[in-house]
A and B are shown apart, each in its own frame.
Chain A
């Protein structure tokens, strides 16, 4: 015989279960979500000074088309409205307001650019519209306390600084570090990342900091004074033109430090070749992506998956452009979040699932690198691997490191 209490408990539970079936979600679905469609908004610099990044938006449109061709997500088609903002923040504000208020998108995905995302961050957070996986390397997107509706994607500059610090503490704890950085938020993020990573030892280890302006003709004098400071380790946090100058000058004056070159200037073609390949031997950098032009990955399953996608959906694209794998992987992250959200497509739940990624692996990430987020970690990719230049190409070494 069933006790009264048990009977009550069972009936209550089954009623609740039934209610849950009939009313599957208590929070209403986000605007732009129907049984057939999920409307997503985005701004991209298809024109203007940063238009080469438009490749990212194109790759994302193409990947969502692939998902739609395969039946969408639970029968819902992904409709990405990707608008041009010309990399101009006021235009971004206008376009984002159009997307949110007029087109009624469910959320914003991968809008590109640090100034453009800064301009819309407050508006989107005030209106509780998710600003997902912003396409910028600044550190400020990982701030769930103040901006719970904004989340980053790629490793940020401070993370990379942490990784160099980690390497130094294990392999060269008595290093005397000289830093050259661009005098803006990007350069300062690296300096902060390295110093935070070194912790208490930073004051003793960093012996000299030099900065430059983008309007400076060369960084020769900075390199000379870094050498004179007695530094035996060099963090080169500079953009391509200055990175090439720094490598060349250091070699020419006979300064042979342990040389860390930031990921921003990783390109062999635009940095190391102009600097001189033989002068760049031994330079170390960190990366999280498989270089799409590196033949080492030709038999790699991940690269094959990417190539198959490109051949079918973007047959005319330049395969050497690393923005295409970037776009595809960001789109895959989005698809994963929407799958996890299931049938509760409220803005709250989409944001909750964006902050609930567990060990997500993507085909063009270096082996071992995984995406992880949590309510207090809004920086999905935090791992990178070091690589050394051998005169021809980058050679990975050591383990994947977390920043």
Chain B
């Protein structure tokens, strides 16, 4: 696996058009933030809803990226944590009447615990074997949610319906705009924390385990602990995303969390860019919008092409991976490197595992 590693702690001093790449990076960040803040005011409420989903998926993808991108552990089962997060919120709101916003951290910490406990034994499995164990987790979760012993809590196959919250404190926002800002307000600190974490000692330990576990252990990294913790934190992010997703959609049911959800998470981080903070955002845009475009393209082909959306999705995916083998972020970096040329120190290096 070839991944480009970010070193956010270092300032990139290479120049483009008189400004350093770090400055460009900052300009991009400010522009993206400004866009994020105004988008619900000019977009229709349907598009606002879609951007809310993008934010939610971005959090989930961030979690998976910490595990897979930075720590090198492949999970095919993060849909399960997303489901647990969503159900914790739905059951708490429905059964105990706890306000919906208070359930978001609860969902996160439940997933942290489950992720850590699942990670502890599962992490003795390496690579493909871990992928299979997590795949099993994603397969059984919908079954467990339907299980009769829990059905009085989970609502069985019918799931749980939740009311859509309105904006509090008399804010002049409709409920779609409010949910968008709520998700954004949760996402920003989580992204900030993730960025700091990967730039810290722990982050370097995570990356070193991915790149060379034996060397990492020799250097004194407690590989089992770091891996389990990464699994827990990763599940924490995805659980929070699931909780927000449940609130935004207003309905949870076992059918919402099929194996396809876990796979689309994995597709998202690979397309967005492994081991990068921005990759989660680009991946989320892909996960939300591309299936819809695939549907529209297949509509153009007429009524007989009704079964085609996933074939078109697959073709688009192949095209994306062919044109951008290191994801959107990888491509942006390549473009930046081309523009800068060979001058200036190269702080961005391709690492091969």
Q: Which residues of A contact B (CB under 8 A)?
A: 44, 46-49, 51, 54, 57-58, 61-62, 65, 82-84, 86-91, 93-94, 97-98, 100-102, 113-116, 118-119, 121-123, 183-186, 211, 213-215
Contacts and interface: CB of A to CB of B under 8 A. Distances in A.
A316 to B, nearest CB: 8
Contact of B49 (A51, A86, A97, A211): A97
Contacts of A213: 147-148
B249 A84 contact: no
B309 A114 contact: no
Interface residues of B, number: 38
Among A58, A118, A183, find the residue whose CB has the most chain B CB atoms closer than 10 A. A118
B258 interface: yes
Q: Is chain A's binding surface mostly helix, strand, loop or mixed?
A: helix
A41 to B, nearest CB: 12
A298 to B, nearest CB: 28
Contact of B245 (A90, A101, A102): A90
Given A58-B306, A89-B253, A89-B255, A102 B44 contact: yes
Contacts of B303: 58, 61-62, 65
Contact of A88 (B46, B245, B255, B307): B255
A115 B253 contact: yes
Given A57-B306, A88-B258, 6 more contacts: A54-B307, A88-B260, A102-B44, A115-B158, A123-B250, A211-B148
Contacts of A90: 245, 249, 251, 256
Contacts, number: 102
B79 to A, nearest CB: 11
A93 B255 contact: no
B158 A183 contact: no
Contacts of B44: 101-102
A179 to B, nearest CB: 16
Contacts of A116: 255
29 contacts: A46-B306, A46-B307, A49-B258, A58-B306, A62-B303, A82-B306, A87-B255, A88-B260, A89-B251, A89-B255, A90-B245, A90-B256, A97-B46, A98-B46, A98-B292, A101-B44, A101-B46, A114-B158, A115-B256, A118-B159, A118-B251, A118-B253, A119-B159, A123-B164, A184-B146, A185-B156, A186-B157, A211-B148, A214-B146
Among A46, A113, A183, find the residue whose CB has the most chain B CB atoms closer than 10 A. A46
